[in-house]
């Protein structure tokens, strides 16, 4: 499970920090499309030099999403390898 937290001002017109549909599309494009059902070491370029530990994977995810969301809106990502443990990267 991946939890993505965005932190920013509430738009006066829409009453939202960001459109959830947009969040879903960005995460789908930036993360799921690249990593879902992949063998992380072999099928993706990010883990040739470093092991795909939860710590390293969460940092890659944070950096990809941070580049995709405007205005430093990304606050943190939490990656849950199992329901019993997670890794969190905060700005």
Partner 1 sequence: VISLARRYRFSAAHVLARDEWSADKNREVYGKCANPAGHGHNYEAEIWISGEPDPATGMILPVSRLDELVGERVVARLDERLLNRDVPDFARAVPTAENIAHWIWNQLEPALPAGLLRRVRLVETPNNSVEYAGPSEDA
Instruction: Report the residue number, 7 or 28, with the smaller CB distance to partner 1.
Output: 7
Question: Which residues, at least 6 apart from 11, have a Cβ–Cβ distance to it below 8 Å?
Answer: 17
Using CB under 8 A, list all residues that contact partner 1. 50-56, 58-59, 83-91
**Calpha distance 80→15 (Å, rounded):** 30
CB of 70 to partner 1, least distance (A): 22
Answer left, alpha or beta for residue 42, where phi above 0 means left and psi between -120 and 50 means alpha: alpha
CB of 13 to partner 1, least distance (A): 33
CB of 90 to partner 1, least distance (A): 4
């Amino acid at each position: 499970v991946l939890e993505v937290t965005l932190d920013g001002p509430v738009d006066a017109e829409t009453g939202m920090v960001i459109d959830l549909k947009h969040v879903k599309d960005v995460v789908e494009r930036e993360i799921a499309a690249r990593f879902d059902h992949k063998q992380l070491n072999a099928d993706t370029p990010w883990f040739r030099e470093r092991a795909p530990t939860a710590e390293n994977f969460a940092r890659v995810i944070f950096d990809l999403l941070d580049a995709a969301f405007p205005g430093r809106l990304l606050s943190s990502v939490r990656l849950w390898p199992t329901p019993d443990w997670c890794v969190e990267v905060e700005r």
